[in-house]
Chains A and B, each alone.
Chain A
Amino acid sequence: MKIKTSYGRPLDIKNGCIEMSHGSGGRAMAQLIDELFVAALGNQYLAQGNDGALLPEAGGRLVMATDSHVVSPLFFPGGDIGCLSVHGTINDVAVMGAKPLYLSASFILEEGFPLVDLKRIVESMAKAGSEAGVPVVTGDTKVVEQGKGDGVFITTTGVGVVADGVHLSGDRARPGDRILLSGTIGDHGMAILSQREGLAFDAPIVSDTAALHGLVAAMLDSGADLHVLRDPTRGGLSATLNEIARQSGTGMLLNEAAIPLAPAVAAACEFLGLDPLHVANEGKLVAICAAEDADRLLAVMRSHPLGGNSAHIGEVTEDPRSFVQMVTALGGRRIVDWLSGEQLPRIC
């Protein structure tokens, strides 16, 4: 009789789905972790198999950021919740001026979620992490009953290290500083929304989801006097600029005509009655720098693959009321305000 090396049946990824037992701490959970998560994300830290990852000394000030992802649909043109959850947190770490080093990932899975979709998502995370050079070193999985989740929610936390001399913060904008933007706005939000609303365009709108730490590194290396970096995600460019204006106690004056906008995004926004300034981005950053360094920094941004459409969109002004104002395409002035409530389409 042939002696088997182990008993057990592999996970049925093709036909299987998440069951309550996958979160109960028993054999089914261990199998899911081994055959799906570790198989895709495997690295030396995850292989330690402990409750936490033991990491080497980082040699500098640490930055830590966390981000939960609840996007619907889970798969969209240009990406999915997996790579989004990696990019989102890497970007939050990167815009602090840090080199992102490690990620953790926590999954809340809904009973009944197809394993084949989960595998696709985890593999997308693995690919995004390895392209960025930032491994997922620890994780967690919980399962909720059917109807109590929306397929899968992913929370990632990132850790990075900041080089000496780098000091970026939202309260460092000064009147006269220049505001640079790394490309077109609204691509991610409209990719999601047009998918959700079944809007078809000749050229589909593709999410801009991307890890920006390479672009940030190039900007820091340029030696430009950089004061603030931030990625305008939820709430769009308007929320990000209002946050910075409030933190710094300054105003801002933008030039509408200078803000890059893809024609398909502009059309979709018109169609749904949305303002692209309020629409989310996942692969763009705003940089605020000393006026004398703006041209040099803009050139560095434009020469990076993720900053080809970078533009100088305005400047920081003195205004204790912290209004972000904009000269419109028509030459009038308006406020660029925080988004109020959810962005709902207008009626007619």
Chain B
Amino acid sequence: MKYMDEFRDGELAKIVAANIAREADSGHRYNLMEFCGGHTHAISRYGLSDLLPSAVRMIHGPGCPVCVLPIGRIDLAIQLALEHKVTLCTYGDCLRVPASGGLSLLKAKARGADVRMVYSTIDALKLAQDHPEKQVVFFAIGFETTTPPTAAILIQAKALGLENFSVICNHVLTPAAMHAILAGQGGERLDGFVGPAHVSTVIGSQPYEPFASDYGKPVVIAGFEPLDVMQAVLMLVRQVNAGRAVVENEFTRAVTREGNKKAQALVNDVFELRDAFEWRGLGTIPLSALKMRPAFAEFDAELRFDLQYHPVPDHKACECGAILRGEKRPQECRIFGTVCTPENPVGSCMVSSEGACAAHYTYGRFKDMAVVAA
């Protein structure tokens, strides 16, 4: 496939891997955090850690939308679907996130809730248009990548005067999470970031500049293809070796410094900053998420249905928090692969294939288990 195969070229990968191995100082540790779940998935899916020298350690960051969604937010969606009998639609991965009382949206569906998976916000809007007798609620999640499509349908819903459509907004902001990680305990030992791909197509590379200038951490924005990740690692190793900390852009085919101004304007028209938002694993972070502006309040499901948010603590043994902060690896969690599996996720990192735990379980767990005769 054009524009895809070029970035999955095994021969080229060998050359980049050889460069990384030659340039990485074996006496040094390169602790590199890939922020995005898309990178985590690419690393696991293509077995990239096998191509990296032992001095380079990839740390999985919190950039997986369902992983950082706290239990209380899913509870709101389930409450809407089960008690208010709305048609609740959301993106696929969200359906399996464990919530309170052993429920998830999929389990609520099995109990009679009208829960639908949609591929795009337009599908959700169409559902509302086709079923004027039903209240249709779109459970909007994601970082800056998925925010403009939500803004676009809210504008459309307003223009159409749709009275049976509303949105629960859970859109969160990448730079705020990166700040939280760097300001936290684990921030010190990070040597650099593989910066977001799709998020950066929207916000551009500029918002990452403080991480280089203020925290002294190199950032290399990279695409989600495996060669993008390899090249970004090489660029980060070079920055670390040279003692530099700047924002570099490996993903020049899609990302500019300014980003997509049109999308930014659209988001700005519809959304404003929340004072604070709870993130799974990172705690409550000020100014880290979006809510609808007063002009769109009529489409805010939290207001329409008078929903009250109640924070819910994670399962006691679940290490998702430490894993999302990059402080622990999935296999260091006591319940990884035993109590918590992709079929029965306890923590959110085991849900999406972009989650650190699910990615390691699905693609890499053979590395943890010795081959012993049965």
Residues in chain A within 8 A of chain B (CB atoms): 197, 249, 257, 263, 266-267, 270, 272, 319-321, 323, 325, 327-335, 337, 340-341, 344-348
Q: Among A272, A320, A332, which residue has its beta carbon within 8 angstroms of that of B51?
A: A332
Tell whether B141 is near chain A: CB-to-CB under 8 Å.
yes
Q: Mark B119-147, 1 if CB is under 8 A from A, else 0.
A: 10000000000000000000001110110
Contacting pair B1 A334 (CB below 8 A)? no
- A321 with B371, Cβ < 8 A, contacts A332-B47, A340-B343, A347-B92 known: yes
Residues of chain B with a CB closer than 8 A to A267's CB: 1
How many residues of B are in contact with the other chain, CB < 8 A? 54
Which chain B residue lies CB-closest to A261? B1
Contacting pair B1 A263 (CB below 8 A)? yes
Residue of B146, B373, B374 with most partner-chain A CB within 10 A: B374
Contacting pair B145 A257 (CB below 8 A)? no
Contacting pair B366 A323 (CB below 8 A)? yes
Tell whether B46 is near chain A: CB-to-CB under 8 Å.
yes
* A347 and B146 alpha carbons, distance in the complex (Å): 8
* A330 and B362 alpha carbons, distance in the complex (Å): 18
A199 to chain B, nearest CB (A): 9
What secondary structure prevails in chain B residues at the interface with A? helix
Tell whether B347 is near chain A: CB-to-CB under 8 Å.
no
Contacting pair B342 A346 (CB below 8 A)? no
Which chain A residue lies CB-closest to B36? A348
- A348 with B50, Cβ < 8 A, contacts A321-B366, A330-B10 known: no
* A333 and B50 alpha carbons, distance in the complex (Å): 7
Residues of chain B with a CB closer than 8 A to A266's CB: 1, 4
Q: List 20 A-B contacts (CB under 8 A).
A: A249-B374, A267-B1, A272-B119, A330-B8, A330-B10, A331-B17, A331-B50, A332-B46, A332-B47, A333-B47, A333-B50, A334-B44, A334-B47, A335-B365, A341-B96, A341-B342, A345-B119, A346-B92, A346-B93, A347-B92
* A344 and B109 alpha carbons, distance in the complex (Å): 15
Contacting pair A334 B45 (CB below 8 A)? yes
Contacting pair B119 A344 (CB below 8 A)? no
A317 to chain B, nearest CB (A): 10
Contacting pair A257 B10 (CB below 8 A)? yes
Q: Among A330, A331, A346, which residue has its beta carbon within 8 angstroms of that of B352?
A: A346
Contacting pair B51 A335 (CB below 8 A)? no
- A320 with B374, Cβ < 8 A, contacts A330-B10, A330-B47, A335-B362 known: yes
The 3 closest A-B pairs by CB, nearest first: A332-B47, A344-B92, A340-B342
Contacting pair B146 A348 (CB below 8 A)? yes
Contacting pair A320 B371 (CB below 8 A)? yes
Contacting pair A332 B352 (CB below 8 A)? no
Q: Among B4, B91, B343, B372, which residue has its beta carbon within 8 angstroms of that of A270?
A: B4
* A319 and B141 alpha carbons, distance in the complex (Å): 41
Residues of chain B with a CB closer than 8 A to A321's CB: 366, 369, 371
A47 to chain B, nearest CB (A): 45
